[in-house]
Amino acid sequence: MEPVHPADELRADVRARWQSEDAGARYAIRRFRDPRAAMRDPTLVERILDLHGVRPALKPVLDVPCGTGRLRGVLERRGMRYVGADVSPAMLAEAAGGKDAALVLADAERLPFAEDSFDVVVCCRLLHHLQDEDVLESVVRELVRVSSRMVIASFWDSASWHAWRRRVGLRRGEGPRGRRAVSKRVLRRVFDESGAGIVDFHHSFRFVSQQTFAVALKRAPAAERDPAMHRVRERIFDIDLPRAPGNLGPAGS
Ligand SMILES: C[S@@+](CC[C@H](N)C(=O)[O-])C[C@H]1O[C@@H](n2cnc3c(N)ncnc32)[C@H](O)[C@@H]1O
């Protein structure tokens, strides 16, 4: 029998965690029974979209993993076409809630969408479950690949108060299969290698909340980024072309 790679065991473990028949109902009712806690992520995502002036575009927005569809309302209210993807049929059934929705059973490491399919890709509460860095990298690569512009992804920030308490032993760790905080530096590198630059980070409570959202802009292909090429095209077509996101200034922290 082929030996199982430790990363495969870890990724299978995360995929299996929300597969029970009642996973969707439990997540919707028990995990977020406090309405204030339930609204924290949608409110923060809405604030990020406002800050970046994101409006409905020709391309839809992808919420992966969509879980029970907690972000669907915020995105649809803005007039964005919503597509949700998740690896758990039970979570997708809860997200559908009897209404018409574009929901897809899919693995975040192998999304069944072409490159640049979505205007914005949102990934909420998955990255901190990925204990293996290879898996983190392949999920981020997929998020960036299917987005044509922006990725908004939450992660646990290792510089937060809770993560620090865990590191110094004031709070019990969750073990090798538990959730994992990563540093902003590591996340920047992972996005960078995937072709997107993180431009800002957002927390509900700075230094306290572990849950942090990173906003990354996909870099245009090298030819688009090249200022000389840009000037040539402007001269040929005699129009003002928008600058590629790769030319943005230094990212905030
Ligand atoms: C903590 S829930 C978050 C759901 C939703 N984003 C939210 O914030 O409410 C984690 C979700 O990730 C899904 N999931 C885990 N591994 C996945 C994978 N490899 N691909 C797609 N979804 C995955 C689970 O089925 C579950 O719905």
**CATH at 71:** 3.40.50.150
* 101-139 tens-digit pLDDT: 899 999 999 999 999 999 999 999 999 999 899 999 999
Q: Both 96 and 29 in a single domain?
A: yes
Report which protein residue has its CA nearest ligand 1's atom 15.
15
- Does residue 164 carry a pLDDT above 80? no
Count of beta carbons in the 10 Å neighbourhood of residue 170: 9
Q: Which residues face 83 on adjacent strands?
A: 62, 102
Q: Calculate how far, in angstroms, residue 17's C-alpha sits from the geometric centre of ligand 1.
A: 9
Q: Both 191 and 244 in a single domain?
A: no
Q: Both 78 and 145 in a single domain?
A: yes
Does 124 sit in the ligand 1 pocket, CB within 6 Å? yes
Q: Both 182 and 209 in a single domain?
A: yes
Q: Both 207 and 233 in a single domain?
A: no
Split into its structural domains, the chain has a count of: 2
Report which protein residue has its CA nearest ligand 1's atom 4.
67
- Does residue 212 carry a pLDDT above 60? yes
pLDDT level of residue 195 (50, 70, 90 thresholds): very high
Q: Both 207 and 243 in a single domain?
A: no
Q: Both 241 and 167 in a single domain?
A: no
Q: Calculate how far, in angstroms, residue 74's C-alpha sits from the geometric centre of ligand 1.
A: 18
Does 142 sit in the ligand 1 pocket, CB within 6 Å? no
What is the atom index within ligand 1 of the atom nearest the CA of 107?
Answer: 20
Domain extent for 66: 6-218
Q: Calculate how far, in angstroms, residue 86's C-alpha sits from the geometric centre of ligand 1.
A: 6
- Return phi, psi of residue 142, to 5°: -65, -40
Q: Both 248 and 204 in a single domain?
A: no
* 12-31 tens-digit pLDDT: 888 888 898 999 988 888 78
- CA-CA distance, 75 to 73, in Å (whole number)? 5
| Tokens matching residue 20 | 């029970």
- Does any domain span residue 1? no
Does 95 sit in the ligand 1 pocket, CB within 6 Å? no
Contact 88, 23 (CB under 8 A): yes
pLDDT level of residue 206 (50, 70, 90 thresholds): confident
| Tokens matching residue 35 | 């309405």
